[in-house]
Amino acid sequence: MSRTLKKALNWLVLCVVVLWSVAPFVWQIITSFKPSAELATLPPLLPASPTLDNYISVFSDRPFGRIILNSLVVASLTTVLSILVGSLAAFGLAVLKPRGGYLFLGFVLTVSMFPPISTVSPLYIIIRELGLRDTVLALIITYTTFSLPLTIWILTNFFRSIPRELYLSARVDGCTSFQIFYRIFLPVAAPGLFATAILVFIFAWNEFLFALTFTSTVRARTVPVEIALFPGVHEMPWAEIAAASVIVTVPVVLLVFLFQRRIIEGLTAGAVKR
């Protein structure tokens, strides 16, 4: 009886947590299908006349397709650059073990602790002087810089969990350090690389402050900034905001659900040394 009660309480707590987490997104989905006349009706239940007008309006009245493309390019290139640079750095720190490696890793993590608001002004001046204002390249460089500490930290711990005998055996066979890196360690570290790539992609996809500061036109504007600019002077298009939020959230949620096993495997594989 005690075990059954404990299991029931665990399920109850789990259901409450899931409901608390999912409720806002479900509410956005419901709102996105409501016509404007039903947004203020009470009680706020399911729409009496569901409509797709809000989704159509998002693309017909605004350049939302271009905005999604900008976000996709920025997030994808940021992920690729972060994985390329971060994996090389992590391999060097974890496997080659240079002198002062721990000090370097601590410095990297210290830099990541600065709040973005404290660095946005000097970064804006640098980007303006380089002529990169209102370009996707400015966002890619900035996002890569801020995502590298996370990338290096996760991959360093993952590479440390790989038996060092692999490296020593490959060196005996005549492989260079770089050959060992991309022929042996990268395939073994695939789960960690994949998990890190998903986390970096989500960070770049959702980032708002730098995108708001460094962009001013549709040419480089990303999704979070575009949605923030939806409200007009005299109206608040809640239904369109909800529709746009659903459009940009569903792909990320599906991506995480499809590859959740890889993500969990990658985040936990480095926790135990083999």
Q: 116-151 burial string, b = 16+ CB within 10 Å, else e? A: eeebbeebbeebeeeebebbbebbbbbbbbbbbbbb
The CA distance from 233 to 237, in Å, is 11
The CA distance from 181 to 11, in Å, is 44
Which amino acid type is present at position 28? Q
Catalogue all structural domains in the chain, each as residue range(s) with its CATH number: 66-222+251-269 (1.10.3720.10)
Q: For 117-137, what is the mean pLDDT?
A: 92
Output the pLDDT for position 97: 83
The CA distance from 250 to 240, in Å, is 15
Q: 44-63 burial string, b = 16+ CB within 10 Å, else e? A: eeebeeeeebbbebbeeebe
Q: Cα 155–203–111 angle (5° rounding)? A: 60
- Per-residue pLDDT band for 70 (boundaries 50, 70, 90) equals very high
Output the pLDDT for position 269: 59
Nearest to 224 by CA among 71, 55, 69, 12: 71
More confident residue, 223 or 5: 223
Report the Cα–Cα distance between both ends of the chain, in Å, rounded.
40
DSSP conformation class of 274: -
8 A C-beta contact, residue 90 and residue 241: no
Which amino acid type is present at position 51? T
Q: For 246-257, what is the mean pLDDT?
A: 86
Q: For 31-45, what is the mean pLDDT?
A: 81
- Per-residue pLDDT band for 232 (boundaries 50, 70, 90) equals low
Output the pLDDT for position 75: 95
Q: For 63-74, what is the mean pLDDT?
A: 94
Sequence-separated (6 or more) residues with CB below 8 Å from residue 218: 63, 66, 67
pLDDT at 259 over 80: no
As a whole-number percent, the residues of the chain with pLDDT over 90 amount to 41
